Structure 1
Amino acid sequence: MTDCVFTAVSDRHPGVGLDEAPATPAWMAVFSLAMGVFGLLTAEYLPASLLTLMATDLSVSEALAGQAVTVTAVVALFAGLLVPGLTRGIDRRWVLLGFSTLMVASNLLVAISSSFAVLLLMRILLGIALGGFWSMAAAVAMRLVPNALLPRALSIIFSGIAIGTVVAVPLGSYLGGLYGWRSAFFAAAAVGMLTLAFQSFTLPRLAPRRPARLRTVLEVLLRPGIAMGMFGCVLVHSGHFAMFTYVRPFLEGTIGIGAQGLSLMLLGFGVANFVGTLLAGRLLERYPLATLVLMPALVGVAALALVLLPASLPGQAILLALWGLAFGGVPVAWSNWVASAVPDQAESAGGMVVASVQSAIATGAAAGGAVFSLGGSAGVFVAAAVVMLLAALLIALRVRVPSGHGVRQSEGALHL
């Protein structure tokens, strides 16, 4: 099946997407995209580290407060599919700057929200920015660096995820404990302003090319092997975000940890996540399928251990770090898998990835809220562990990956 997927792409669209790369890399622009990833991830993940504080201040349950993640993910899902097509006649530079502006506005308005309903409305703006940005990030990177440097550029861009996990969530928890949860969103808005300024100076003009349409996304999804891979991607992200949304109530309930201790544990999670991102890059070069299987399997084992083993601060910290380490390479691994399968439809593939991941985030947060209401945070972790282990089994049996080390070659052929 692998040969059918990748050969069909190169035969049907020989050289498509390969003739648009520049002769010299625009590294500062690439770093500005990484900053965009960092800022968006900061804003999206903040409710996970501030859940208890937000729920108390806004007089809602923790399960309901967790839906601040869900609404953003649902909007991002549709934005990833629709925004590239709706903005197909606009210079991509201005579109990306627009996303950063929405990010800043969302964080500022959330910080001054007077009710939970208003807060949810403001998170819609973030969902538009998040989905639109993610759908275009890989396609824009392909136009900023030469073909041979694309993997490095993607690694830099995705490092924004790991750095955000290291810095943003623990810092949000720390600021929330000292100055209230609203201060964390003011800080996220400041990060967004820096990102907007940096992108304004570094992003070149990027005239729109080969516009993505919803029909194209559906055609890509129907290619052999793509739907099963996307289903595996959805399962892995659903399990992770179900747990991550309710990690604070879980740790508070099991070991009675305070705000500063929680910040340190989340910092450990983030550092391990960053290390996992670096390790995954090397593992994927040699053992792509084994790496895709191992990551969710380790997260599932760590989740079960967090619930079943006697709770202690050192033990929970180690298991949380194992979770972060194992999940660190997931975004890079799945994005590389999709890029290998559909190099001729970069924005369409980006929209498909956004739809898959954001639907997983929404499903994970919503289902996690339902399970949380019935079985508490421990029930969420057990259910998510089962999902992760099933995802690992599905990937091992049904997902096919390219066996070579590159997706794009100067000759325009795929080497598997």
Structure 2
Amino acid sequence: MNTEKAPQDMSLRSWLALFILALSTFTIVTTELAPIGLLTPIAEGLRSSESAVGMTVSLYAWVGALSALVASVFLGNVAKKRLLLTLTVILFLSNVLAATVNTYVVLLIARVLGALAHGAFWSMIGVTAVSIVPPRYIGAATSIVFGGVSAASVFGVPVSNYIGIHFGWRHAFWLMAGLSVIAFAGISVLVPQITNKSAIGMDALKGVLKSSVLWKIYTATLLAVTAHFAAFTYIEPWLHTQNALATSAIPVVLFIYGIAGLTGNFLTGVIIDKLLKVTVSVSVLLICMVLIFLGLSGPALSESTVFVAMIIWGVAVSGIFVGFQTWVLRLAEDKIFPASAVYVAFFNAAIGIGAFFGAWMVSAFSIPMLYIVAGAAIGLSVLLVAVIPTRVVSTQTVLEKYYESN
């Protein structure tokens, strides 16, 4: 396999490669989350229920989680650029199929196809970003690339919702198919052949699973992301319950939420290297307070209060998404690929569990009760965050400090 070593300085092509990878992650994660903003129109179009459409998010997430683990074991030796291009083609086909379905079953098939590409793609994107930049630009590279994930998580849903209302829900999937084509062209031209810089295979995966520190991050991720998506999956129906909001205002609220998320992603990128634990802790606590407040307040909130709450939620969620991923990359040492794959598996499993738990809570109780429980659950994750170290401390470093103090 031909490879290119990362240059000593950043070229224009390197920056553009990072942005095309960010566009790719935006596309693939927006594809995953698009049904959240389209629950009502898809349910009506396919004569199904909102909870059934919500379950397509769960299915996608669970298949994506399995795909990430399989990729870390069996696809580690495949040329990264070739694999990225193949997965982008699979994503394109998934979106085309989703845009043309006439039955709920075929929609499920389309979602499974996309999920197979999703997990493998996301698990390798971190090591790809690290491989194409000099060491001193690794922080900027991961911030840009995973900014695409964060942007999709907070901005892709309102885009899908807006398209669904004004043009029809199928057009949202056609947009994702078009973005897949752009991503394919960009990766072909801009992303170099990638040198493997991470341990791969079953032994490397076992090494990751034996790390108590990484397990703490994965557990905190599972709890926080499950709680967030349990609530966020039903944000559109919750907005419909607010008496002060006209239906036409809902896309505006979601767009503001998305803009807040992009702002939060920028702020997180600026401070996270120095204040990783503080950033994640504050983000978790803010979302905890917002969800409990929304759950307890009922349908009589003013329009301005809804906007403020959504802005806080949008800014804070970026701290979680970027924060936990950065934490994994920082502590994984020479096992970036399998550590990222396991993180992706937990993240996607959390999305699936969250959507499933949200569907059960809404059916058995109510959306406000769901928000109260989700807020309390995400608040508990701060207890795990508090005990996770932010740096790898080697035995040699410990001994040096011991001898210095004695």
* TM-score, normalisation: structure 2: 0.90
* 3-state SS of 1:328 partner: helix
Counterpart-to-counterpart distance in 1, 2:278 and 2:155: 29
Aligned counterparts, 1:6-405, within 5 A: 21-25=6-10, 26-165=14-153, 167-206=155-194, 212-255=200-243, 257-309=245-297, 310-396=300-386, 398-402=387-391
Whole-angstrom distance in 2 between the partners of 1:97 and 1:259: 40
Q: Residues of 1 paired with 2:361 and 2:243: CA distance?
A: 21
344 and 209 in structure 1: CA distance in 2 versus 1, 3 angstrom threshold: closer
Q: Distance in 2 between matches of 1:130 and 1:258?
A: 35
Which amino acid in structure 2 is aligned with residue 34 of structure 1?
Answer: A
Q: Do the aligned residues in 2 keep the contact of 1:82 with 1:214 (CA within 8 Å)?
A: no
Structure 1 residue 226, shift from structure 2 partner: 1.8
Please say if residues 90 and 207 of structure 1, whose CA atoms lie closer than 8 Å, have aligned partners that are also in contact.
no
Equivalent pair of 1:108/1:186 in contact (CA under 8 Å): yes
Secondary structure at the counterpart of residue 250 of structure 2: helix
AA matched with 2:104: F
Deviation at 1:379, TM superposition (A): 2.0
Give distance in 1, aligned partners of 2:337 and 2:274. 27
- Alpha-carbon distance, 1:375 to partner: 1.3
CA RMSD of aligned residues (A): 2.2
After superposition, the Cα gap between the structure-2 partners of 1:166 and 1:391, relative to the gap in structure 1 and judged at 3 Å, is: closer
- Distance in 2 (alpha carbons) for counterparts of 1:294 and 1:172: 29
Pair 70,214 (structure 1): closer, same or farther in 2 beyond 3 Å: farther
Structure 1 residues 262 and 76, CA, compared in 2 at 3 Å: closer, same or farther? same
Percent of matched pairs sharing the same residue? 27
Measure, in 2, the Cα distance between the counterparts of 1:189 and 1:208: 29
Shift in alpha-carbon separation, 1:399–1:167, aligned structure 2, 3 A? closer
TM-superposition CA deviations, 1:176-209 (whole Å, max 9, x none): 1122211111111111111111111112222556
User: Aligned partners of 2:9, 2:275: CA distance in 1, in Å?
Assistant: 31
Quick check: 82-91 or 227-236, which moved more?
A: 82-91
CA distance in 2, matches of 1:213, 1:253: 49
Structure 1 pair 260–73 and aligned structure 2 pair: CA distance change class (3 A) = same
SS at match of 1:88: coil
Q: Deviations over 1:127-178 (max 9, x none)?
A: 1111111110111112100111111111111221344356532221111112
Quickly say closer, same or farther: Cα 1:387–1:275, change in 2 above 3 A. Answer: same
Unaligned runs of 5+ in 1: 1-18, 408-416
Secondary structure of the corresponding residue to residue 60 of structure 1: coil
C-alpha deviation, 1:107, in angstroms: 0.7
Q: Which amino acid aligns with 2:321?
A: P
The residue aligned with 1:15 is none
Deviation at 1:211, TM superposition (A): 5.8
How far 1:41 moved relative to its partner? 1.8
Pick closer, same or farther for the CA change 1:158–1:379 going to 2, 3 Å.
Answer: same
Amino acid paired to 1:315: T
Q: CA deviation at 1:302?
A: 0.4
TM-score (norm 1): 0.88
The one-letter code sitting in structure 1 at the alignment partner of 2:256 is G
In structure 2, stretches of 5+ residues that fail to align are 395-406
